[in-house]
Structure formats: C-alpha cells, structure tokens
Amino acid sequence: MSGTPLTRLFGVRGAALRLAPSSSSRSLRTSAASRASQASQQYDSLYSSAYAGQGARADQPKWYRSPTTLLLGFIPLFTLGLGVWQMQRLSWKLELIDELEQKLTLQPVQLPMRVDSALLDSLTFRTVHLSGTFDYSRALFLGPRVREGTLGYHVVVPLQRAAGGADVLVDRGFVAEKHIVGKGKARRLKPEAMETGKVSLTTMAPRVYPPNMFTPTNTPHTGEWFHADPHAMAAWMSGAAGAASLDDAQEHAGEQEDAHTLSAGIGKGVREMLGLGKKGEKRVLPALFEEVF
C-alpha cells in the first residue's frame, strides 16, 4: 500500500465510515417500514368485506334476542293471561251468586236425624232450621279476625239437636275479644256471651274452601284454629271434652271390626248416620252451619 501512514490511516477510516450506515438512516428506514405496515393494515380494514364504515360499532346481537325485546314481548302475554284468568273468575263468581240467590229463595229445611255425606252436599247454600242445646265446653275459636277495627274470633259450637242424632257444628259468628277469656285450649266465652237452654235458629250450609298457601295450619292440641275444617273440628270435638287422645284411640284399637265383612260396613254406616261412635259414644258430624238468625 502506497502513501504515508497518516494517509493510509485516514483512508481506512473513510472507507469504514462509508461502509457503516448512520443511526439516522437506520431510523428513517425503520419509520418508513412501520408506516408502510400501518398503511397496509388500514387498507385491508377499509377494503375488506367486513368493513362497516368509519365509526361503526362492534357486532350487536339480533334485535329479537335482546333482553329488552324479550321483556317487552312477555308483558302483553302476561296481561293477556291475567285478563283471561279474571274473566274466568268473573264467570265463576256470577254462577256462584246465581246459585246462592236461587237457593236462598227456597224454604228452610229440617235436618233429619240420619245424615250422610250426600245429604250434606245437597244442602250447600240452603237454609236449614236447627233446634237444640249448645255445648259451650267444646267451643272452638276461629281466628283471630278483625271486624270494623275490633279484634275477635268466630265461635264454632257443637249443637246437640233436639230431634236426636249426631251433633252438628254451628258458626255463631264474630265475637269480640272482650267477651272471651283464656288463651289457646283454655279459651272460653264469658257467661254473658253464652246462650243457654234450648235454642231454635235458622242457619245456612256454606261451601267450605281449602285454605290458601298463606294461611297457617290448624293446631288443635294448642287450640289454634285459623280456618274452617269441618272434618278436623268434628273429629276433635267427638273425643272426651273435645280432645280425643292417642291413648283412647289405642284402647279401642282392638275393637275394630273386619272392614271386609258386609255387617261391618252396614254397622259403620248406621253409626255414622246416628252420630254414634264406639260403645255408643256420641259423635259430631262434619257438618258446618252458619247462624243466619
């Protein structure tokens, strides 16, 4: 290599400088590549088949699948069903009123000594004439009830009929709490609220409906009666002092007749019609009558 050492040194450095790219040139090339990539992506997004326009929102669910549409569609269906139910209730109430008015025009009937379930069903909404003596020692109290702001109970008393036969249940109506003493099973009417001696009254046989889901359950052992249940009331009153115990049921368990024999069926039916229990025990029919006057 010709030339002086100094010349050769500067010549080598110049060649190195010419061969090595500067940092500014590398930055320019990188920025240009990045801009080209972004432009390509923007081009793809603009001219692709999925492009919905500038400012377009993300994909939305079908209109008929949105919660708002489903709710708005449910409201008319619900109101339609409610209207049909109300019309059915109106028809039922009108038929009930017609039946009640028609039967109230009939003359009161005398309750025969022998009573069966078929006869009781036919007496629904009929006025029935009863006479006999009330047994207040076995009175039951339905409630509590509120009447014109006064707390009280409906008093159900077994009536020992003068014509004989089984006792029947009579709802004597609303009695304010001030005429009642005691709590639970010990609840009794005050003497001035009792009608003693033989009575003669006109009653009506109501149609007893089952309780709704909000009505508490009757608990006879604690004297809590929240709704009318003629069968449960009659079973409770038929025991000694209105409290048939488990011991009494076990005592007579061995006296049960064979239910498969003809005589047993006839004997049971006669006892039920006459209101007689085992060993001639006096029974109460599951027949509830409301005192009218």
Which residues lie closer than 8 Å to 159 by C-beta, 6 or more apart? Answer: 130, 132, 133, 134, 135, 167, 168, 169, 170, 199
Rg (alpha carbons) of the chain, rounded to whole number? 46
pLDDT of residue 128 exceeding 90: yes
pLDDT band at 266 (very low <50, low <70, confident <90, very high): very low
Q: Decide: 248 and 239 in contact? Cβ < 8 Å.
A: yes
Please tell me which residue, 115 or 255, carries the higher pLDDT value. Answer: 115
**In the predicted structure, residue 16 carries a pLDDT above the cut 80:** no
Query: Cβ neighbours of residue 220 under 8 Å, at least 6 residues apart?
Result: 232, 236, 243
The token duo for 141 is: 């109290």
- Omega of the bond prior to 144 within 30 degrees of 0, cis? yes
- For the residues 131-145, what does the mean pLDDT come to? 95
State the chain's mean pLDDT as an integer: 77
Residue 151, token pair as written in the block? 């707390």
Question: pLDDT grade, residue 293 (50/70/90)?
Answer: confident
Mean pLDDT for 220-237 is 94
pLDDT value of position 71: 83
Phi-psi region of 287 (alpha: psi -120 to 50; beta: other; left: phi over 0): beta
Q: Compute the average pLDDT of residues 230-249.
A: 65
What is the per-residue pLDDT across 143-177, written as a single tens digit (0 to 9) for each? 999 999 999 999 999 999 998 889 999 999 999 99
What residue has token string 């368990």? Answer: 253
Q: What is the pLDDT of residue 69?
A: 80
Categorize the per-residue pLDDT at 38 as very low, low, confident or very high, splitting at 50, 70 and 90: low
Check residue 160 and give its pLDDT. 95
Look at residue 83 and tell me whether its pLDDT is greater than 50: yes
d(CA 136, CA 105): 32
Q: Please tell me the predicted confidence (pLDDT) of residue 94.
A: 93
Look at 31 and 104; give whichever has higher pLDDT.
104
Q: Higher model confidence: residue 117 or residue 188?
A: 188
User: What is the DSSP code string of the chain?
Assistant: --S-HHHHHHHHHHHHHHHSPPHHHHHHHHHHHHHHHHHHHHHHHHHSTT---TTPPPP---GGGSHHHHHHHHHHHHHHHHHHHHHHHHHHHHHHHHHHHHHHTSPPEEPPSS--HHHHHHTBT-EEEEEEEE-GGG-EEEEEEEETTEEEEEEEEEEEETT-SSEEEEEEEEEEGGGEESSGGG-EE-GGG---SEEEEEEEBPPPPPP-TTSPPPBGGGTBB-S--HHHHHHHHHTGGG---HHHHHHTGGG---TTSHHHHHHHHHHHHHTB-GGG-B-EEEEEEEE--
Confidence of residue 262 (pLDDT cuts 50, 70, 90): very low
Q: Which of 27-31, 133-137, 177-181, 261-265 has the lowest mean pLDDT?
A: 261-265
| pLDDT score for 116 | 86
Query: Phi then psi for 144, rounded to 5 degrees?
Result: -75, 155
Please report which confidence band the pLDDT of residue 72 belongs to, taking 50, 70 and 90 as the band edges.
confident
**CB crowding 79-94: b at 16 or more within 10 Å, else e:** eeeeeeeeeeeeeeee
**Residue 40 pLDDT level (bands cut at 50, 70, 90):** low
Q: Is the pTM of this model over 0.85?
A: no
Q: How confident is the model over 179-184, as a mean pLDDT?
A: 94
Query: Residue 37: which residues within 8 A CB-CB, separation 6 or more?
Result: none
- Stretch 177-205: mean pLDDT: 94
pLDDT score, position 100: 87
